[in-house]
Amino acid sequence: MKKYLLLAVALVLVGAILVGCASEPTSVLDKIQKAGKVSVGTSADYPPYEYLDDAGNKTGFDIELMAEIARRMGVELEWVDMPFDSLVAAVAGGKLDMSISCFNYDEERDKIVDFSEAYYTTEDAFVVSSAFAGTITAPEDAANYKVGVQSGTVQDGWLTDNLVATGLLPEANLSRYERVDQAALDLANGRIEVLMGDYVPIQALVAQNPDLRVVYNGVLSTGPINIVLPDGDTALKAEVDRIIKELQAEGFIDQLAVKYFSE
């Protein structure tokens, strides 16, 4: 009798363990669906992709795109605003479900996170103040000046690999900023001479600051932009990619581009 009782207890415990395991999320997508919300990181300092409006609300191309993706996933969107160079690590460490902040694919990033299908394509640009008396006809010409860039961006990587590492640009002449608006302020005040960034946000800066002008634009470090996803989570990637393709086919993303990028 005691043996049967012990066997029954053991079966109950095994059953409880199996039920517990079965209820554990098998992917980040499963976790999102069970919680009914998705945690998304951004750096809201990069108009027109992501920024704060006059009322302090997040808005922009990426913000509206992510809101529609969350809506089609059937979950609540929870924004987390943090410095750009912290976003990839936050997704890799499980602190965020995903991040959207004008991210380009990067081999170093790809070692710890995955990327969605591209949802838009961008270019790079160099911007200077009206007082700038130099000449930039090729990207490498920027090495002759004091350059600013947002830390952790692909532009930061391009400047580091192509100008600093090659000895063209002294390390002391490259200033890295947590936020692009800080770099723009230093550019206007003459603390740096050239600012490198994504072409669309640079155009927005110029529109807001008549004393700034673009002296070069082209594809150097940029190109297709993607959403950063947890590494190896095929279920979440498949769902996000499905929605992106759906939005592209419907013309939703083109409409957002017209809304935010038309001059």
Whether residue 230 is found in the same domain as residue 214: no
Whether residue 80 is found in the same domain as residue 114: yes
3-class DSSP state of 104:
strand
Average pLDDT over residues 79-94: 97
Q: 21 pLDDT band (50/70/90 cuts)?
A: very low
pLDDT of residue 116: 98
| Residue carrying the six token digits 């415990």 | 13
pLDDT of residue 9: 40
Closest to 143 measured CA to CA, from 124, 123, 161: 161
Contact 206, 129 (CB under 8 A): no
Contact 124, 217 (CB under 8 A): yes
Whether residue 41 is found in the same domain as residue 89: yes
Q: For the ranges 89-93, 172-176, 206-210, 245-249, which has the lowest average pLDDT?
A: 206-210
pLDDT of residue 2: 41
Domain with 254, as residue range(s), is: 26-121+224-261
Q: Does residue 84 fall inside a structural domain?
A: yes
Q: Does residue 15 fall inside a structural domain?
A: no
Is pLDDT of 263 > 70? no
DSSP state of 55: T
Could you tell me the CATH number of the domain that includes residue 62? 3.40.190.10
pLDDT of residue 4: 44
Q: Does residue 36 fall inside a structural domain?
A: yes
pLDDT of residue 164: 98
More confident residue, 3 or 132: 132
State how many domains the chain has. 2
Whether residue 111 is found in the same domain as residue 236: yes
Q: Does residue 214 fall inside a structural domain?
A: yes
* 107-134 pLDDT, tens digit each: 889 999 999 999 998 889 999 999 999 9
Q: Does residue 2 fall inside a structural domain?
A: no
Q: pTM here?
A: 0.71
* 138-187 pLDDT, tens digit each: 999 999 999 999 998 889 999 999 999 999 999 999 999 998 889 999 99
Q: What are the residues whose beta carbons fall under 8 Å from the beta carbon of 64, sequence distance 6 or more? A: 256, 259
Q: With pLDDT > 90 as the criterion, what percentage of the chain qualifies? A: 73
